Structure 1
């Protein structure tokens, strides 16, 4: 009896060891699952935080542009005018189609639509990101203060009717006819108007080429009649704010005239942005019901240009005068994708998202389904979580027009 007890005191039996190992393995499995779940929760939380931060940055940047859009471009002769534009730094104006013809209008906001699929046909995955341009000058003398005294046909000298006070060397000017529907031209003043004003001869504005005059090409590119054309000042070239926002490979990008190195090739602004969308807010009240002096009203939201002024031409100059606001949406995604489920399919997001789903006072909603897949990304878009940010910006500078 004593020997038997002594034998049991010397160690554990094989059965006891096996039970201990099983219990330890179960505890380890539970601990690993707990740690894995906590890590997944933390990763999802950080991903949501990144999406919120990037989305808010993108929307804040774009809405800031929208808030100043149209400054200096709000005269009816300039708004929507098909403009001849040249920039040695490589910036190009947004191009849209009016009556089957490509034009480059000046306006507070220009929305360019990208084809939904490779063939241009709509897809069930939703629309591709928009390309959104906001234009603004900086001169407080942005009204048509000069009129052409002599007809312009070619060359670098514009003869005007009086001394060009308020115009300075290096300022950007727009020459516009007093008849809507014809071309405008943008250039840069190359000589000192004050020095020219001292000459006994006629008053002129010169637009010669030179290293300091990036927007000059040796001429205006079209003719302008005497007494029926005006010169508008948009302010110094360094503060000309022509910005174009786009999305490529999951990055929000900006092309800009006033940011060095970003005129021809866009600069990345924020990551993990899969789409940006925009809609015009039109005041399409007819006849005497359209009273812009008493305040503009958004009566219709549209992702594309419409015949808002009822003149039968979609995208005409008068339609740009009817834009009262712009609606913006940014779609951001989490930085880290979630793991696929047991069947190998991700379920973090199961369907394309919709933006602009709610209407506003006096204007019905025009919902837009957004494509979430990023070209070239090997990870299924369903493995990410997304956040949508929206805002409406009244185009106050464009409403306050002469």
Structure 2
């Protein structure tokens, strides 16, 4: 009798049941959800870390740039007796031509109601600075000096007398008497024998009347840089001595009637500063204040703080207390610059992370300076 082949049972050939397949799908979906959640959390942490790194870089660059300029403040006039006088100046490339500025190393313009301050830094760049140059005779276009050896053609000079000061551009320093310099309008040859046109001398001569006093040599390219916050998030610097209007506020090549500024760092939302005053002449700071001092010769240091904000919006309020520096807390506003209303939206400052950068910068030219 032939043998019958035995086949596997039908149940063994059926595979997975519907219930088993559903359970497997649920387990797989749960695994995918877990992986996506982990990926989402990782991306959020990565963006937070990256934006925090950007804020750190911006803050470091901004503080380094500002600190470097503050250390140069006052070069060329040190701690002059004429400190604080109003300098009468002329610039043929500037709208209106005439302008004035105070002869101080650093000027802090306090922002109203906790708004960002403005810092103006003045320094020269002469390689032949002398602390003892005086003039004993003066006209609208000439000065007779006791020692003109440190002055070159093209140097900008501040002539001072009893609180009155004027800015002039040297156009000739080789008079027959060996002592007189000229600051006239028109063309002259610079030290490289290149023909240039005087920029800072009006045709009628210096507007302020001066007869004798001190001369401070600021060199051929001094700077009076104005540091401020624009657009509620960008630190910029503007050279107030060299007016230039080549661009508009958006950076386009269209003049807008304003002095051009240079962007230093993005993401800087606040700038605060104070004068460090030495009231007893021992070169040690005794008090700090934001208001302008009665005597700028007592200023020995500048305390400055920058507040950098991350660009990453956080779902939760990650900053619950206003950041602070040595002089107190920063006054926080909504991101659009309006007063703080705690809106709980991307316009809320609490939904972002912050870094504070602060330092104290000694005004070495004021400490070491011995200008008359």
TM-score band (shorter)? 0.7 to 0.9
Which of 221, 234, 245 is the equivalent residue of 2:218?
Answer: 234
Partner of 1:311: none
Equivalent runs, 1:3-402 vs 2, <5 Å: 5-7=9-11, 9-88=13-92, 90=94, 104-115=101-112, 122=113, 127-139=114-126, 140-150=128-138, 152=139, 155=140, 157-162=141-146, 164-177=148-161, 179=162, 182-190=163-171, 192-194=172-174, 196-197=175-176, 203-209=180-186, 212-218=197-203, 219-224=205-210, 226-227=211-212, 229-236=213-220, 238=221, 240-249=222-231, 250-256=233-239, 257=241, 264-285=259-280, 290-291=281-282, 296-306=283-293, 314=294, 319-338=295-314, 340=315, 346-356=316-326, 366-371=327-332, 373-375=334-336, 379-402=347-370
The list of structure 1 runs, each at least 4 consecutive aligned residues, that deviate by more than 4 angstroms after superposition, is 2-5, 88-92, 257-263
CA contact 1:175–1:185 (8 Å) conserved in 2: yes
Partner residue in 2 for 1:119 = none
Q: Structure 1 residues 323, 50: CA separation in 2 closer, same or farther (over 3 Å shift)?
A: same
Question: Residue deviations 1:285-341, cap 9 Å, x none?
Answer: 2xxxx34xxxx11000112223xxxxxxx3xxxx11000111111111223222x2x
What are the ranges of 5 or more consecutive residues in structure 1 without an aligned counterpart?
96-102, 116-121, 307-313, 341-345, 357-365
| Matches of 2:337 and 2:145, distance apart in 1 | 57
Q: Give yes or no for contact 1:67–1:395 (8 Å, CA) kept in 2.
A: yes
Q: What SS does the aligned partner of 1:197 have?
A: coil
* Structure 2 unaligned blocks of 5 or more: 1-5, 188-195, 248-257, 339-345
Query: CA offset at residue 259 of structure 1?
Result: 10
CA contact (8 A) 2:278 2:298 kept: yes
The answer (yes or no) to whether the contact 2:94–2:243 under 8 Å persists in 1 is no
Q: Are the structure 2 counterparts of residues 370 and 209 from structure 1 closer, same or farther at C-alpha, using a change threshold of 3 Å? A: farther
Q: TM-score, normalised by structure 1?
A: 0.74
| Matches of 1:105 and 1:91, distance apart in 2 | 19
How far is the alpha carbon of 1:63 from its aligned partner? 0.5
- Normalised by the length of structure 2, the TM-score is 0.80
Is the 1:137–1:241 contact (alpha carbons within 8 Å) kept by the matching residues of 2?
yes
Matched residues, number: 333
CA RMSD of aligned residues (A): 3.0
SS across alignment from 2:330: strand
Q: CA deviation at 1:163?
A: 6.4
* Stretch deviating more after TM superposition (242-251 or 161-170): 161-170
Distance 1:162 1:267 in 2: 40
Structure 2 Cα separation of the partners of residues 335 and 79 of structure 1: 42
Q: Which whole-Å CA distance do the structure 1 matches of 2:332 and 2:320 have between them?
A: 12
Contact 2:334–2:347 under 8 Å retained in 1: no
Contact 2:159 2:167 in 1 (8 A): yes
Q: CA 1:26 to 1:163, structure 2 compared with 1: closer, same or farther past 3 Å?
A: closer
- Partners of 2:49 and 2:289 lie apart in 1 by 35
